Amino acid sequence: MKQPFITLSEPAGSLTNCLVWVGESLDPTPCEGFAWREGRITEILTRADDGGPPPAYGILPGLVNAHTHVGDGFLPEAAVALTLEEAFFRPHGYKYRALESITAEDHIAHMTRFLQEMAATGTIAHADFREQGVEGARRLREASRVSGVRSFILSQLRDTPFTPKELTANQAPLPRAAREELLELMRISDGFSESTMNDLTDAAWREIRDITAAHHRVRAVHCLENAGYRTLSLKRTEKGDLEQALNLYDPDLIVHLTAASPEEIELLAASGKPAVINPRANAALGLPLPPVAALLQAGVPLLLGTDNGILNGPDLFRELDFTWRLARSQRGDGRNPHPREILKTATANFRHSPWGTEIPGSLSPGLPANFIIVDLLAPCFQNSRDLTATLVTRTAPEHILATVRNGRVLHQREPRHD
Ligand SMILES: [Zn+2]
């Protein structure tokens, strides 16, 4: 059976005979109708499951990539022969030198294409640790505007404000120029990010926490990407970097946790804060894999990211598949967790993020019309005994017929099969 090309109209539209992954629990529900208007879902009309063949269209919440660096997406695989420190650490890491070498115009064009690839693979929004200060944020805003993908921009100061000596002494406040830059960032960015807790002094972290709070901006940081983060922090402050982050900076998003100990996982769970894991990026760098199973069992709200564009394309379905397998392997259980729990890390769990009102990551009447349409007539879905599991493990870009954010069609393609 040939799947007809669907015509999606803006700002209102509807689909009939579809399977909708409804609500925060992501239950696949047969529906007679799914409708939206002015950027919001207006109706999800369910019907009794009559045991017949599955509907032609699967409607899922649009995916959210909770950790990216799209700025280095113009350098695929440039880091395959480099260590984490050689490729990514300031001030002389390969990434930072390469970012200085590209013109603004070329950079915006590259980032726009990267965001369009996100839309083509089902992603409607991402949280980006954006380098290059105010100029970096400006470039990504433009790429976001053109592509229609929502960029939550978490800006980094353009240059490291402290010398290694000042960092070791851990006394200096934020220098005036850095403070002024931070205030400017508060106008253009959604929040602040820094590579590691070891990049700033305790006094600077407190100032940044207070300034971002006063401007209602989000705070994020990488923690425990490897054990070296903790070791250096202990040496300087007698506390590990995760404990430092929670005490001094009160972050809204904590990224990585690959080297987190059971005590650190407990500390994080008690804080109630969401963690963003990036298993494929960690694996590519030869780092430990994040303790997905332990984090899930501790009740930490988990989100998923693809991290640097140097290391990974933005297809979150690849990350979901890898993460699900990893979680089962770590748990030593062939039946748990169910792939639905992993799918939540790129959808419904986003309600625990600071942007959960704008993007709740689930589908119910009244919520934003952020969804993707999957071709359920493709052979893998036609024969599936567990559609949610097949979605997590087998969805390819060709299966994504449309990506819609706030009722706006960001991407659409014809079904590929006969
Ligand atoms: Zn990162």
Count Cα neighbours of 274 within 13 Å in the Cβ-side half-sphere: 26
Residue 289, pLDDT > 90, answer yes
Q: How far apart are CA 207 and CA 205, in angstroms?
A: 5
For ligand 1, the distance from its centroid to the CA atom of residue 3, given in whole angstroms, is 39
- Residue 7: the pLDDT is 76
* DSSP line for 88-120: H-TTT-HHHHHHHHS-HHHHHHHHHHHHHHHHH
User: Ligand 1 mean position to 87 CA, how many Å?
Assistant: 12
The two tokens of residue 355 are 């942007």
* Ligand 1 geometric centre to CA of 144 (Å): 19
List, for residues 193-242, the tens digit of each pLDDT value.
999 999 999 999 999 999 999 999 999 999 999 999 999 999 999 999 99
* pTM, entire model: 0.97
CA of 286 to the centre of ligand 1 (A): 15
The average confidence (pLDDT) of the chain is 95
Q: Is residue 418 over pLDDT 70?
A: no
Residue 334's pLDDT band (cuts 50, 70, 90): very high
* Per-residue pLDDT at 1 exceeds 60: no
Q: What is the pLDDT of residues 14-30, one digit of tens each?
A: 999 899 999 999 999 99
- For residue 284, the CA-to-ligand 1 centroid distance in Å is 13
Q: In the predicted model, what is the mean pLDDT of residues 303-315?
A: 97
Q: How far, in Å, from the CA of 128 to the mean position of ligand 1?
A: 8
For residue 2, is pLDDT > 60? no
How confident is the model at residue 53, as a pLDDT? 65
> Using CA atoms, how far apart are residues 356 and 117, in angstroms rounded to an integer?
23
Beta bridge partners of 155: 130, 192
Q: What's the confidence (pLDDT) of residue 10?
A: 81
Among 245, 130, 148, CA closest to 197? 245
Ligand 1 centroid, distance to 71 Cα (angstroms):
11
Which pLDDT band holds residue 3 (cuts at 50, 70, 90)? low
For the stretch 244-282, pLDDT in tens is 999 999 999 999 999 999 999 999 999 999 999 999 999
Distance, CA 222 to ligand 1 centroid (Å)?
Answer: 7
Which residues make up the environment of ion ligand 1, defined by Cβ < 5 Å?
307
* 290: helix, strand or coil: coil
Tell me, in angstroms, the distance from the centre of ligand 1 to residue 375's CA.
Answer: 32
- Spell out the domains of the chain, with CATH numbers in brackets: 13-62+361-412 (2.30.40.10), 63-352 (3.20.20.140)
Question: What's the 1 CA to ligand 1 centre distance in angstroms?
Answer: 44
> Which pLDDT value is given to residue 371?
98
Q: How far is Cα 408 from Cα 405, in angstroms, rounded to an integer? A: 5
Distance 355 CA to ligand 1 centre (A): 19
* CA of 404 relative to ligand 1 center, distance in Å: 26
CA of 41 to the centre of ligand 1 (A): 33
149-158 pLDDT, tens per residue?
999 999 999 9
What pLDDT score was predicted for residue 150?
98
Ligand 1 centre to CA of 396 (Å) is: 25
